Structure 1
Amino acid sequence: MTRNDFTQALRILARDQRQVVTVGQLAGIGVSEVALRKRCGPGGPWQRVLPRVVVLRRGALSAWQRCRAALAYAGYPPAQAQLTGIAALALHGMREVVAPAEVRVVDVLVPADRVLRTHTWVRVHHARALAGREVVDELPVAPLVRAAGDGVRASCDPDWVRAVLRELVWDRGVDPAELAGELRTVSPARRPGIDETLRELSAPGRARRPLGGLVRSLAALAGPRPPLWRPELRLDGVFLARPDAYWAREGVALELGPPGGAGGPLHTCGLRVVRVPPEALTARPAHVVAALRAALSSGPHGPLGRVTVHPDHGSVKGI
């Protein structure tokens, strides 16, 4: 392969994989071991971020590059691998997880017969068989329930676990029985809290409701303009929260959830948070509209000049 051919092949590889490549791919286009060591060494333009994984630039990785590097470490492609856990839940759009850029440990799911171990910031999970997957931004993602199961098994935060389970059932329509089956392998010490939450979610009146249309209708009655739906808010450039809806001019956020959960980072920084139990959308819609109107009319709230919406998140189309 000539130098020109090498350069062109490298350029295409970097473009198609956003600069995340494997050592095997580099060897395939003619990059020698000597050249690889030199370019990844001190002062070189590349960096080894994981065994067998190279990023063709220096500096911190983007959220997408971290996920793609974790998959490359797991052998994808051509080997089977999926993102799971918190990284997958973030890509699925779950509100109760941090933004993709804030995920510190990337979980990957591989078949049980693969010999692959957890390494630094990549946590490896094994499954007898990989079920159907979704592809989000060119990344293979485990099904929602499996991703949630891996996230719950790895978490040490019972409040977060309860919030995730509630969102799955109330907002995503997941059957509590399906969750119970996925979570049957959780350690006995943590099972009582999970079982209690699943019983609560299985109680009469907890069935999934068509929340999206109701929320949009009530929001339209409450204010002169539509809110941004599920935006990623940042305070001084740092991830703050992802509420269900946000009126940027007034500094008012709407969050769906059980009573008693108000507060959090939005409230702490001075924004107005209206927390609405999902059942109130159908049982007490007038109260919901009144609460939103009161919050909007008394604004603006909080340090609006410091709160921004991430350019890739937030729309007026509804949840």
Structure 2
Amino acid sequence: MSEEFPPVPRPPLAAAPPWVPGARDAGSAADERVLSAHQLRERGVPAATARRLCRPGGPWQMPLPGVFLLHPGPPTGEETVRAALCYAGGRPGEAVVTGLAALALHGFSAAPPLAALERVDVLVPRTRRLRSAGRVCLVRTSALPRAVTAGGFPVAPAARALADAIAHLPGTPEVRRLLGEAVRGGHCEPRAVVRELAWAGLLGRPVVAEAVRTLPAEGRAVAEELLMDTVRAAGLPDPCWNVGLWLPDGPFLGTVDAYWPRPAVAVRIDAWRPGPVPGPEQDPERRARDRRLHQTLLGLGVGVVRVTPRGLREAPGRQAEVLAGALRAAAGRPPATYVVVMPR
């Protein structure tokens, strides 16, 4: 009778090496829970060990070639972005998050949350031979934008990320919501948005062209709110808002965004306006009318202050000082020619 031997038990899957940061700490940062094969080797974990830990039932995962997630659960949105950057690799600044993922990191409420994105777009130099994989879409470009930091990641500036996102959005409502939030939220100026859309060849799309037509109204509304906030925060007297100026029994002079009848100071916002060619040199007729109004008001003894939406947003205190200085200077001048003030 043959002797029976008990079956030899199979060794259990190895646990994650305790010396690897973030291997068991679910609350650690995404850059500690997502590591490349190279980063693991630097921590003393051979590639074979890392792959073994990614077997079914193991404590790790490999969501992308050469990229390891050091826990068994689904990745968070931040971990997905970190994995995409690890996969793209390259020198610092040669992998830049763009598209909807970048807009989410910029804080766009109209962009889906990171965890809900089906793809993460990453800009890389055109010379890179790496291919897209999994949820990572590599976008090759000959001109990488200078990255900004948002959410702890290198991302494309908002205007560039917006253009890259719109390139893959077919619907008008989504495009309009993103463009409107870009301007209303102060993420970028309308001119910068249109410039990026033009460089991407998107202005010819009816969906995009229709949405772009709403930008001037969005930009002006935001700028007017910023001007009102600046005046009131500085404790300056309330002017007449959004008015037209006429000579008594004479011609219409033009419109201004704010006007103090005494001591005769007008404020004009240099907001972006649409034109046949996007950019700062557009609409020459309108610029000529603006110059004529400026010179006419000065000739009538009216002080004119020009402000920009960017200045109101980024340096409201400085703009308030300019306005206060203009009011003080006008108070010491002879009375200006009387003009009729009417709502716009």
Q: TM-score, normalising length from structure 2?
A: 0.54
Separation of aligned partners in 1, 2:119 and 2:208: 23
Given that 1:18 and 1:65 are in contact with CA atoms closer than 8 Å, whether structure 2 keeps it comes out as no
Separation of aligned partners in 2, 1:121 and 1:95: 22
Matches within 5 A, 1:212-223: none
Separation of aligned partners in 1, 2:69 and 2:219: 50
* 2:53 aligned partner: 39
1:11 is paired with a residue whose SS is coil
- CA shift, 1:159, in A, is 1.3
- CA shift, 1:186, in A, is 5.1
Pair 1:149-2:156 in alignment:
no
Mean CA deviation greater in 204-213 or 18-27: 204-213
Matches within 5 A, 1:275-290: none
* 1:60 aligned partner: 74
CA-based RMSD: 3.1
* 1:178 aligned partner: 192
- CA shift, 1:187, in A, is 6.2
Given that 2:84 and 2:122 are in contact with CA atoms closer than 8 Å, whether structure 1 keeps it comes out as yes
Pick from 28, 40, 49 the counterpart of residue 42 of structure 2.
28
Given that 2:63 and 2:134 are in contact with CA atoms closer than 8 Å, whether structure 1 keeps it comes out as no
Pick from 11, 16, 20 the counterpart of residue 10 of structure 1.
20
Q: Give the gaps of 5 or more residues in structure 1.
A: 1-5, 216-319
- CA shift, 1:163, in A, is 1.3
* 1:107 aligned partner: 121
- CA shift, 1:65, in A, is 0.5
- CA shift, 1:64, in A, is 0.8
* 1:71 aligned partner: 85
Query: Residue type of the partner of 2:20?
Result: L
- CA shift, 1:94, in A, is 1.0
- CA shift, 1:123, in A, is 1.3
Separation of aligned partners in 2, 1:54 and 1:190: 42
- CA shift, 1:180, in A, is 2.1
Separation of aligned partners in 1, 2:124 and 2:218: 37
Given that 1:108 and 1:125 are in contact with CA atoms closer than 8 Å, whether structure 2 keeps it comes out as yes
- CA shift, 1:160, in A, is 0.2
Q: 1:207 to 1:63 in 2, by over 3 A?
A: same
- CA shift, 1:161, in A, is 0.6
* 1:124 aligned partner: 138
Q: 1:185 to 1:209 in 2, by over 3 A?
A: closer
Pair 1:87-2:101 in alignment:
yes
Mean CA deviation greater in 64-73 or 76-85: 76-85
Given that 1:23 and 1:54 are in contact with CA atoms closer than 8 Å, whether structure 2 keeps it comes out as yes
Q: 1:201 to 1:28 in 2, by over 3 A?
A: same
Q: 1:190 to 1:58 in 2, by over 3 A?
A: farther
Mean CA deviation greater in 107-116 or 194-203: 194-203
Q: Give the gaps of 5 or more residues in structure 2.
A: 1-15, 230-344
Separation of aligned partners in 1, 2:179 and 2:128: 30
Query: Residue type of the partner of 2:134?
Result: T
Q: 1:55 to 1:212 in 2, by over 3 A?
A: farther
Pick from 46, 62, 66 the counterpart of residue 48 of structure 1.
62
Query: Residue type of the partner of 2:56?
Result: P
Given that 1:109 and 1:125 are in contact with CA atoms closer than 8 Å, whether structure 2 keeps it comes out as yes
How many residue pairs get aligned? The number is 210
Deviations 1:204-255 (A, max 9, x none): 973532657979xxxxxxxxxxxxxxxxxxxxxxxxxxxxxxxxxxxxxxxx
- CA shift, 1:158, in A, is 2.1
Task: Mark the structure with the bigger radius of gyration.
Answer: 2
Deviations 1:263-308 (A, max 9, x none): xxxxxxxxxxxxxxxxxxxxxxxxxxxxxxxxxxxxxxxxxxxxxx
Separation of aligned partners in 2, 1:204 and 1:98: 22
- CA shift, 1:9, in A, is 4.9
1:70 is paired with a residue whose SS is helix
2:220 is paired with a residue whose SS is coil
Q: 1:187 to 1:7 in 2, by over 3 A?
A: same
Given that 2:22 and 2:32 are in contact with CA atoms closer than 8 Å, whether structure 1 keeps it comes out as no
Given that 2:93 and 2:154 are in contact with CA atoms closer than 8 Å, whether structure 1 keeps it comes out as no
